[in-house]
Amino acid sequence: MSIPRPKPEKFRLRRTMMFMNAQKPGLIKDAYIYGADSIMLDLEDAVAENQKDSARFSLYHALKEIDYGNTEVIVRINGLDTPHWKEDIRVCVAGGADGIRIAKTESAQDVKTVEKAVEEAEKEFGVEVGRTLLMAALESPKGVLNAYEICQASDRLFGVALSGGDYRKCMQVKVIPGGIEMLAARGHMLMAARAAGIQCFDTVFTNINDDEGFRAEVKQNVEMGFDGKSLVNPRQINIVHEMLAPTQKEIAEAEKIVRAYREHAAEGVGVFTIEGGKMIDIAFVPGAERVIKLAKASGIYEGDL
């Protein structure tokens, strides 16, 4: 009982973030068995207005007593325009959540407001200041346009996520196969996140019976450069993991780069060629290391790096 969770890692692998209603005991008790990288216990939209109090008690005890293992535990709190968010933050910090997802983020100030309340809660509950990570959900054109300032607003911020439902509503568009209605938002948010050096996550795909449509969207996510995706159904987890997994060819190339870099770095050489004549410098190394990490997480890595 009450095993404190290890200190959260800011830039861990987050291919899949699975939403779970924090109010439903049947869901939260075995949320980790599905194998998502992160679970997102929801205090916001999934919880009815008259159950906001009840969801916090469930959340607190789940955080304290359920062993989620290596699964990251993030909590989506209610928006800053509601009376709930301050108490939501207190319970997240007291319970030891790894991170907090800020709903409807529209400005850097929104992030700073949450950060201040988180720090106060850390002091109140004797939690190491800085432990609790943040991520921001952009749900409106204003939020998307302010993405860069939002991405830079806090050292705790590991990433931004797009929330398609509200964004589409504001833009007066519906879900279009191929995602033309979301293209500008996705592209803008990705650039802002990369420029600020944080992660970027795509919105949920809600038609759980449309496997083909889901795969097409994940493929586009991968090609655009997303780190991961928010999910609403456990069935979607393995599909994303499989589609984000590197190919054996990519793994072999990454291994060559990492090995060659290590050898050359020891000798003080910064630019070198690998087998096949490709010229490599230090800029290739983080990408190669990421491929190895993904391969390991996908269970397909057989090397020794």
Partner 1 sequence: MELKTVGTAGTLESSDIMITLEPAQSGGIEIVSFESSVMNQYGRQIKAEVLASLDRLGVKNAKVTVNDHGALDCTVKARVECAYYRGCQCDVDGTYPWGGVIR
For partner 1, which residue of 14, 15, 90, 104 counts as binding (CB under 8 A)? 90
Helix-strand-coil split of the chain, %, nearest 5: 50, 15, 35
Two tokens, residue 117:
């309340």
Quote the least distance from Cβ 68 to partner 1, whole Å: 12
Interface with partner 1 includes 120 (CB under 8 A)? no
Q: Which stretch binds partner 1 (CB under 8 A): 19-27, 182-190, 233-241, 259-267?
A: 19-27
Smaller CB separation from partner 1, 11 or 125: 125
Interface with partner 1 includes 83 (CB under 8 A)? yes
Beta bridge partners of 63: none
Residue 109 DSSP code: H
For partner 1, which residue of 94, 103, 151, 240 counts as binding (CB under 8 A)? 94
Quote the least distance from Cβ 97 to partner 1, whole Å: 12
Quote the least distance from Cβ 86 to partner 1, whole Å: 6
40-79 residues in contact with partner 1 (CB under 8 A) are: 53-54, 56-58, 60-62, 64-66
Interface with partner 1 includes 193 (CB under 8 A)? no
Smaller CB separation from partner 1, 2 or 209: 2
Reported in sequence order, the residue ranges of the chain that DSSP labels E, i.e. its strands, are 16-21, 38-42, 72-76, 99-102, 133-138, 157-162, 199-202, 228-231, 272-273, 279-280
- Reported as half-sphere exposure (CB side, CA atoms, 13 A), residue 4 has a value of 9
For partner 1, which residue of 3, 7, 9, 25 counts as binding (CB under 8 A)? 25
Smaller CB separation from partner 1, 95 or 179: 95
Q: Which stretch binds partner 1 (CB under 8 A): 80-88, 101-109, 138-146, 212-220?
A: 80-88
Which of left, alpha, beta for 197 (phi over 0: left; psi -120 to 50: alpha)? left
Pairwise CA distance, residues 183 & 166, whole Å: 15
Pairwise CA distance, residues 207 & 100, whole Å: 26
For partner 1, which residue of 8, 46, 75, 95 counts as binding (CB under 8 A)? 95
For partner 1, which residue of 4, 6, 26, 299 counts as binding (CB under 8 A)? 26
Interface with partner 1 includes 131 (CB under 8 A)? no
For partner 1, which residue of 9, 11, 33, 125 counts as binding (CB under 8 A)? 125
223-262 residues in contact with partner 1 (CB under 8 A) are: none
CA-based nearest residue to 173, from 212, 141, 213: 141
Q: Which stretch binds partner 1 (CB under 8 A): 12-20, 22-30, 34-42, 199-207?
A: 22-30
DSSP calls for 155-217: TTEEEEEE-HHHHHHHHT----TT-GGGHHHHHHHHHHHHHHT-EEEEPP---TT-HHHHHHH
288 CA to centre of own chain:
21
Going from the C-alpha of 273 to that of each of 52, 179, 221, 268, the distances in angstroms are 59, 39, 31, 14
Q: Please report, as ranges, the residues that interact with partner 1 according to CB under 8 A.
A: 24-26, 29, 53-54, 56-58, 60-62, 64-66, 83-84, 86-87, 90-91, 94-95, 125
